[in-house]
């Protein structure tokens, strides 16, 4: 058995876990509605983390021995306010962002999140279109909130659910949360038309891979799009090992034996999931192969952390402090110019460079935790 290494330090105080502090530019450039990075990848998608807190302790994301009662979550004053988030989002939209995803931590723990959704739903692209506003949630509070989120203008939700087996699910969320309540949240999201509802299942070999076919059978024909995600080496605290990754090719093979599937064309270039459909008309299913089939070549996503740092990659160790600019009197045009310059210089492609079996090199710079940067 391979040994699991879990680093217990709080990486936010690690000197290598740096923050870039962009200066207010002397000259400004107007946004053109289209930005490309150094590898010609456009900016389309902004993920906004609204809290670093969560009521789950999923073993692959916020393991209890790191995120324990002594863990120092960010104080309220560090968090971007809704007004700051809306302002930043508007500047990103002027640069071509058409899709916003609220995430965290658990986004439904942020008080009055519906108010933020309402503010974001009023934004328009340069050509006057409304944005696609989605939210990723563990589903624990969704049954109660789906209607108010829909009313506020949320377009869709993605719910994370790793198992239908109550024992396995309770072990994976590590707070003894029952499957039934998440299923209720999914049903309510469908009822209020927050759809098509997507369900994300992180597959950890030896932990929940026995649930691939039961999950597929459960959601087959329901209108829910189930997606299997490869367990990733995000952050530095989950003790990731390659041998716990279940490659998507194996997932599809297993699925195909029980419920035959065929590939579908992507909805748009750069889509993270590879789409499949059941041959019997039972709907769509997908795989997200972040480890075995990197999609960095078309990655058009930026991430805004809970405290307003801009990250150019899920696996980054450094972020660009936009909060200071938002709070120190910089004008919209100045902040917009900074965002443009940062994206222009982007060369990140962590997954493409990752060698499959490397695991966690001891000398590699630490990566931010997913609960902080937003999944």
# residues contacting ligand SF4 (CB under 6 A): 24
186 counts as binding ligand SF4 under rule CB under 6 A: no
- Closest approach, Cβ 104 to ligand SAM, in A, equals 5
CB of 203 to ligand SAM, least distance (A): 9
| The only residue of 31, 157, 299, 338 in contact with ligand SF4, by rule CB under 6 A | 299
Minimum gap (Å) between residue 207 Cβ and ligand SF4: 14
Minimal distance in Å, beta carbon 41 to ligand SF4? 8
Decide if residue 322 touches ligand SF4 (CB under 6 A).
no
Nearer to ligand SF4 (CB atom), residue 134 or residue 138: 138
Residue from the set 11, 44, 48, 56 that interacts with ligand SF4 by CB under 6 A = 56
Q: Out of 51, 134, 138, 337, name the contact with ligand SF4 by CB under 6 A.
A: 138
User: Per rule CB under 6 A, is residue 371 in the interface with ligand SF4?
Assistant: yes
Give the range of 182-190, 250-258, 311-319, 357-365 binding ligand SF4 by CB under 6 A.
311-319
Q: Which does 62 bind (CB under 5 to 8 A by kind): ligand SAM, ligand SF4, none?
A: ligand SF4
Residue 191 phi/psi, 5-degree rounding, is: -60, -40
The candidate with the shortest Cα–Cα distance to 218, out of 137, 279, 291, 161, is 161
Residue among 112 and 279 whose Cβ is closer to ligand SAM = 112
Q: Which is nearer to ligand SAM, 31 or 161 (CB)?
A: 161
> For every residue of the chain, which 3-state class applies, written as one string?
CCCCCCCCCCHHHCCCCCEECCCCCCCCCCCCCCCECCCCCECCEEEEECCCCCCCCCCCCCCCCCCCCCCCCCCHHHCCCHHHHHHHHHHHHHCCCCEEEEECCCHHHCCCHHHHHHHHHCCECCCCCECEEEEEECCCCHHHHHHHHHHHCCCEEEEECCCCCHHHHHHHHCCCCCHHHHHHHHHHHHHCCCCCCEEEEEEECCCCHHHHHHHHHHHCCCCCEEEEEECCCCCCCCCCCHHHECCHHHHHHHHHHHCCEEECCCCCCCCCCEEEEECCCCCEEEEECCCCCCCHHHCCEEEECCCCEEECCCCCCCEEECHHHHHCCCCHHHHHHHHHHHHHCCCCCHHHHCCCCCCCCCCCCCCCCHHHHCC
Q: What phi and psi, each to the nearest 5 degrees, are found at residue 363? A: -95, 5
Give the nearest distance from C-beta 261 to ligand SAM in angstroms: 21
Spatial distance between the Cα atoms of 290 and 275, rounded to a whole number of angstroms:
14
Give me 259's structure tokens. Answer: 């419920």
Out of ligand SF4, ligand SAM, none, what residue 51 binds, judged by CB under 5 to 8 A for its kind, is: none
Token pair 């073993």 is at which residue? Answer: 59
Residues lying near ligand SAM in the complex (CB under 6 A): 54, 60-61, 103-104, 106, 136-138, 160, 200, 202, 229, 231-232, 234, 238, 370-371, 375
**Residue 311 binds which one of ligand SF4, ligand SAM, none, with CB within 5 to 8 A depending on kind?**
none
| Residue 293 is a binding residue for ligand SF4 (CB under 6 A) | no
**What number of CA atoms fall less than 13 Å from residue 198's CA on the CB side?**
20
Distance between CA atoms of residues 142 and 149, nearest Å: 9
231 binds, among ligand SAM, ligand SF4, none (CB under 5 to 8 A by kind): ligand SAM
Does 51 sit near ligand SF4 (CB under 6 A)? no
372 binds, among ligand SAM, ligand SF4, none (CB under 5 to 8 A by kind): none
Binding region for ligand SF4 (CB under 6 A) out of 42-50, 82-90, 322-330, 345-353: 345-353
Options 31, 46, 50, 62; binder of ligand SF4; rule CB under 6 A: 62
DSSP 228: E
Q: Which of 43, 58, 85, 164 binds ligand SF4 (CB under 6 A)?
A: 58
Q: Can you give the binding site for ligand SF4, defined by CB under 6 A?
A: 54, 56-58, 61-62, 104-106, 138, 160, 294-296, 299, 301, 313-315, 348-351, 371
């Amino acid at each position: 058995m391979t040994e699991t290494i879990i680093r217990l330090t709080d990486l936010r105080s690690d000197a290598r876990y740096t923050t870039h502090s962009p200066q207010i530019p002397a000259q400004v450039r107007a946004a053109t509605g289209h930005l490309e990075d150094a590898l010609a990848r456009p900016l389309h998608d902004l993920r906004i983390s609204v809290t670093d807190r969560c009521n789950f302790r999923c073993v692959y994301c916020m393991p209890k021995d790191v995120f324990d009662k002594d863990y120092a979550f960010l104080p309220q004053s560090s968090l971007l306010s809704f007004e700051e988030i809306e302002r930043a989002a508007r500047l990103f939209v002027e640069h071509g962002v058409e899709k916003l995803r609220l995430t965290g931590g658990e986004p439904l723990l942020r008080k009055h999140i519906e108010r933020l959704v309402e503010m974001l739903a009023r934004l328009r692209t340069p050509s006057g279109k409304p944005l696609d506003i989605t939210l990723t949630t563990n589903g624990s509070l969704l049954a109660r909130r789906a209607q108010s989120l829909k009313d506020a203008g949320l377009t869709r939700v993605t719910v994370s659910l790793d198992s239908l087996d109550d024992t396995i699910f309770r072990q994976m969320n590590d707070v003894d949360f029952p499957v039934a309540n998440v299923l209720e949240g999914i049903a309510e999201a469908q009822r209020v038309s927050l759809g098509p509802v997507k369900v994300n299942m992180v597959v950890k070999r030896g932990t929940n891979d026995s649930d691939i076919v039961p999950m597929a059978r459960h959601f087959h024909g329901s209108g829910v799009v189930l997606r299997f995600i490869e367990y990733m080496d995000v952050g530095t605290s989950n003790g990731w090992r390659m041998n716990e990754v279940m490659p998507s090719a194996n997932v599809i093979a297993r699925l195909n034996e029980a419920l035959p599937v065929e590939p579908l064309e992507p909805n748009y270039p750069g889509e993270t999931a590879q789409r499949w459909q059941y041959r019997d008309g039972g709907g769509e299913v997908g795989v997200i192969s972040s480890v075995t089939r990197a999609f960095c070549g078309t990655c058009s996503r930026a991430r805004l952390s809970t405290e307003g740092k801009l990250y150019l990659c899920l696996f980054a160790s450094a972020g660009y402090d936009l909060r200071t600019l938002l709070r120190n009197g910089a004008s919209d045009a100045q902040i917009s110019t900074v965002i443009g310059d940062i994206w222009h210089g982007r060369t990140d492609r962590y997954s493409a460079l990752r060698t499959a079996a490397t695991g966690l090199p001891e000398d590699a710079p630490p990566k931010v935790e997913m609960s902080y940067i937003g999944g």
